[in-house]
């Protein structure tokens, strides 16, 4: 999902995505995120923002997890926040938030900073506190 970026984001995204959807700029990501979740056609959704990367070990874990017919609906994945080249260890993103889930088990709030809501009865697993099993966020 692209919110009408005026940089090279759409060009880069098209190299990696089969479908690139757009959403008007509204000043925050939640409405676009919800629309992207609703448009997803696969059984599993993993999402990351343009300023995030998936550590290679995490990518391997995700592939193994979804291929292994897991008994869970949601995986809480830690995020390492990097600010001005340093890991900010005191953020609320450690040990994890729902970033991998079966379609339909997570809903994005349409309101700013309200996060994601799990459907009642969701079976949840937590990844260990390991930087190599984390998403890395580079804010600046």
What tokens were used for 112? 């700013």
Tell me: pLDDT of 81 over 70. Answer: yes
Please, which residues bridge with residue 76 across strands?
98, 126
Question: How confident is the model over 33-55, as a mean pLDDT?
Answer: 93
Please tell me the predicted confidence (pLDDT) of residue 49. 87
Q: Is the pLDDT of residue 100 over 90?
A: yes
pLDDT of residue 109: 85
Pull the structure tokens for residue 41. 């056609």
Continuous H helices in 5-118: 9-16, 30-39, 56-67
Q: State the Cα–Cα distance between residues 12 and 56, nearest whole angstrom.
A: 19
Which pLDDT band holds residue 113 (cuts at 50, 70, 90)?
confident
Residue 93: which residues within 8 A CB-CB, separation 6 or more?
78, 79, 80, 81, 137
Tell me the average pLDDT of the chain. 91
d(CA 52, CA 60): 17
């Amino acid at each position: 999902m692209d919110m009408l970026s005026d940089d090279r984001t759409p060009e880069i995204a098209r190299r990696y995505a089969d479908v690139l959807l757009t959403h008007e700029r509204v000043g925050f990501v939640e409405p676009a995120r919800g629309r992207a979740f609703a448009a997803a056609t696969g059984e599993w959704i993993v999402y990351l923002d343009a300023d995030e990367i998936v550590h290679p070990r995490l990518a391997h874990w995700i592939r193994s997890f979804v291929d292994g017919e897991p008994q869970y609906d949601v995986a809480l994945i830690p995020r390492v926040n990097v600010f001005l080249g340093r890991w900010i260890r005191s953020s609320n993103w450690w040990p994890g938030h729902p970033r991998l889930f079966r379609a339909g088990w997570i809903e994005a709030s349409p309101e700013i900073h309200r996060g994601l809501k799990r459907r009642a009865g969701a079976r949840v697993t937590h990844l260990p506190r390991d930087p190599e099993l984390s998403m890395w966020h580079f804010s600046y």
